[in-house]
Amino acid sequence: MPENTHSEKRTPASQRHGQIMPIGGAEDLDPSRDGSILHEFVRLAGGKRAHIAVIPTASADPEQSGAGYKKLFEKIGVNTAEVLNIDQREEANSPQAVELLQRSTGIFITGGDQARLVSLLTGTLVMETVRVSNQNGSVVAGTSAGASILSAHMMVPGSLPGLQTSDASPRKGETDLVGGFGLLRDIIIDQHFSQRGRIGRLLEAFAGNPGLLGLGLDENTAAIIDDAATLTVIGCGAATILDGRNATSNYFECHSGEIVSVFDSHIFVLGPGQRFDLATRRPLPPAEA
Residues acting as catalytic residues: 144, 192, 219
Report DSSP state, residue 121.
Answer: H
What radius of gyration do the chain's Cα atoms show?
19
Q: Tell how strand 51-55 and strand 239-243 pair up.
A: unpaired
State how far the Cα of 101 lies from the Cα of 110, in Å rounded to an integer: 15
Q: What is the DSSP letter of 220?
A: T
**Cβ-count burial 5-38 (b if 16+ within 10 Å, e if not):** eeeebbeebeeebbbbbbbbbbbeeebeeeebbb
β partners of residue 269: 240
Judge residue 210's burial from the number of C-beta atoms within 10 Å of its C-beta, 0-12 exposed, 13-18 middle, 19 or more buried. Answer: middle
Query: What is the Cα–Cα distance from 3 to 57, expressed in whole angstroms?
Result: 30
Measure CA 267 to chain center.
Answer: 20
- 35 Cβ neighbours under 8 A, 6+ residues apart: none
Please report the beta strands in 56-179, taking only residues with DSSP state E, as ranges in sequence order.
80-83, 106-109, 139-143, 151-157, 175-179
